[in-house]
Amino acid sequence: MNDTDLAFMPASDLATEIRAGRISSLDATENVLSRIEASRETLNAFITVMDDSARQDARRADDAAAKGQSLGPLHGVPISVKDLINIKGLPTTFGSQLMIDNIAPADAVSVARLKAAGAVIVGKTTTPDNAHKLLTDAPLFGVTRNPWDLDLTPGGSSGGSAVAVAAGIGPISLATDAGASTRLPAACTGVVGLKPTLGLVPHNQVPDGFQNFIHLGIFSRTIADCALTLGVLAGEHGSDPLSMGVPTGEFMSGLSNASVKEFRFAFRPLLGNEILAKEVRAACENAVGVFEKLGGAVTQIDEAFENAEPTWRVLQQSNWAVRFGKDMEENADRMDSSLVEGVREGLSYSGPDLQRAMYGRTRLFRAVQSWFGDVDFVLTPTISRRPLKASHRALDPIEIDGQNVGDMRRSWCPYLNLFNLTGHPAISIPCGWTDDGLPIGLQIIGRWFADAGLLAVAAAFEAAQPWADHRPPHIPR
């Protein structure tokens, strides 16, 4: 087996091989570390690399396997973590020049669970300044680039995590999704991106546990790896009120014989937007055909739906205003200009503005929840057009098929922040490719806590139209 084949081995297979002693965790980890180094100048997906501790953990994993000790489901598997999530003793920079010296006092709950499952954490991935935008660049580290085309963005805000998985720099990455941040980069880079049901994976770092809509997200190249990781992460924790009483258990048992027969699907090609790129529509309509051939009943829904972005914007920018507003003017020269603008907008909102947005969130939830009286799953494009240029500025308008469609968040990914606000589980999977070889994503949405069923439906599509063998051209060699 060459280094590239090892790098693209699924985590579920790699863990099996490490437990059996046929592959060493140290070899797999060294391979990933060398790929991080080789990709710094091109992809730039990591802020912090944990060379020494990763090697130590890998050696311990190999020793445990050799002794026949009881091993976790991710034993010895090298993975990465977005640099918004705490790892004890390391900086959590949030991609910000202001947070370089912010040393985490303890592991996040999710990180502690990954470690307990045997994972070897190799580093922390890039994110724009405080994860505020749909691109991955920041004054702290520069520009992260898409391995399918280095002129393009991988999307944001979890761009580094998506690039790492897409380019064979670890099979799994833990990230966040507050308004698009896992599913958008997944679509841009041709990997799986899951936003679980709100609260299923506890998030103990959010300052408001009750009104929270920031989810922890999972990147992988296969549905099985995503399900394996979700089983490790899911379950209540006392720090997160939204996690109390959530279902636990493993999520892989329904994948091997997954079927969509007798399931009812709604395909919504538009969701608060008016323009969808022709190449994206064609790929998504082809995916709808796959579900129909597999026995699913699909109905296309063309009725207009409210764009969730105005509601999301007030809630998110109010959050930024509280977090950054007090000292912003003295720190503005060290912050991304688009974050500064967002904080200023947040400071302009009144109390009634914020309360109306909270009401709006409930209205959106009830509207989406009503869909599931008639269908089991909803299908949408993940994003409305191919990846933007890496040089695109966050506040500049975007075009779709040559037409100016205005604001990036309202027009590029109206399909995404809606389900952050409503909390429904949603996954982006590769569903096709543009004529010049760029990936296109399909989003599948399910009922609350139907995450296992969502993964099974995605697995049925994966079996019918596999994607994991598609490797981007710009990967470490």
pLDDT confidence bin for 398, thresholds 50/70/90: very high
Return the CA Rg of the chain: 21
Residue 214 DSSP code:
P
Amino acid at 260: V
Q: What is the mean pLDDT of the chain?
A: 97
By the 10 Å C-beta count (0-12 exposed, 13-18 middle, 19+ buried), 350 is classed as exposed
C-alpha span between 113 and 95 (Å, rounded)? 24
Domain count, the chain: 1
The pLDDT of 310-328, averaged and rounded, is: 96
Reply yes or no on whether the pLDDT at 277 is more than 90: yes
How do residues 288-315 score in pLDDT, each as one tens digit?
999 999 999 999 999 999 999 999 999 9
Token pair 């100016």 is found at 404
Checking if the pLDDT of 131 tops 90, the result is yes
Task: Answer yes or no: are the C-beta atoms of 467 and 190 closer than 8 Å.
Answer: yes
Element (H, E) at 113: helix 109-116
Inside any domain, residue 471: no
> Is 470 part of a structural domain of the chain?
no
pLDDT reported for residue 44? 98
With contact defined as beta carbons under 8 Å apart, do 92 and 104 qualify?
A: yes
Please give the pLDDT value at position 295. Answer: 98
Q: Which amino acid is at 179?
A: G
Residue 421 forms part of a structural domain: yes
Residue 420 included in any domain: yes
Tell me if 296 sits within 8 A of 419, measured CB to CB: no
> What is the chain's length?
477
Nearest 10 degrees: Cα torsion 146, 152, 154, 157: 140
Before 391, cis peptide (omega within 30)?
Answer: no
Phi, psi of 404 (to 5 degrees): -70, 120
**pLDDT value for 71:** 87
Pick 48 or 249 by higher pLDDT: 48
- Reported confidence tier of residue 411, pLDDT bands at 50, 70, 90: very high
Does residue 203 fall inside a structural domain?
Answer: yes
Alpha-helix residue ranges (DSSP H) falling in 67-221: 109-116, 159-166, 183-189
Report the pLDDT value the prediction gives residue 70, as an integer from 0 to 100: 84
Is the per-residue pLDDT at 329 higher than 90? no
Task: Determine which helix (DSSP H) or strand (DSSP E) holds 267, and give its type and residue range.
Answer: strand 264-267
Confidence (pLDDT) at 350: 98
Question: In the 8-state DSSP scheme, what is residue 376?
Answer: S
pLDDT of residue 477: 84
Domain that holds residue 363: 3-464
Is the residue at 308 inside a domain? Answer: yes
Alpha-carbon distances, residue 320 vs 212, 258, 371, 410 (angstroms): 13, 42, 32, 19
DSSP letter (8 states) at residue 99: G
User: Percentage of the chain surpassing pLDDT 70?
Assistant: 100
292 in a structural domain: yes
Average pLDDT over residues 457-468: 98
The model's confidence at residue 39, banded by pLDDT at 50, 70 and 90, is very high
Per-residue pLDDT tens for 347-397? 999 999 999 999 999 999 999 999 999 999 999 999 999 999 999 999 999
Q: Which residues are catalytic?
A: 82, 157, 181
Strands ordered across the beta sheet of 426-433:
46-49, 120-125, 78-82, 172-177, 215-220, 192-195, 426-433, 439-446, 377-381, 264-267, 297-300
In this prediction, residue 322 carries a pLDDT of 97
Checking if the pLDDT of 328 tops 90, the result is no
CATH number for the domain that contains residue 240: 3.90.1300.10
Q: Which of 47, 46, 140, 143 has its CA nearest to residue 96?
A: 140
Q: Is residue 352 part of a domain?
A: yes
Distance in angstroms (rounded) separating the CA atoms of residues 43 and 269: 32
Kindly state the average pLDDT of the residues 253-278.
Answer: 96
Rounded Cα–Cα distance for residues 179 and 398 (Å): 18
The answer, yes or no, to whether residue 74 has pLDDT greater than 90, is yes
Q: Give the C-alpha separation, 361 to 355, whole Å.
A: 10
Residues 206-260: tens digit of each pLDDT: 999 999 999 999 999 999 999 999 999 999 999 999 999 998 888 999 998 999 9
The Cα–Cα gap between 173 and 122 comes to 10
Residue for token digits 């300052």? 207
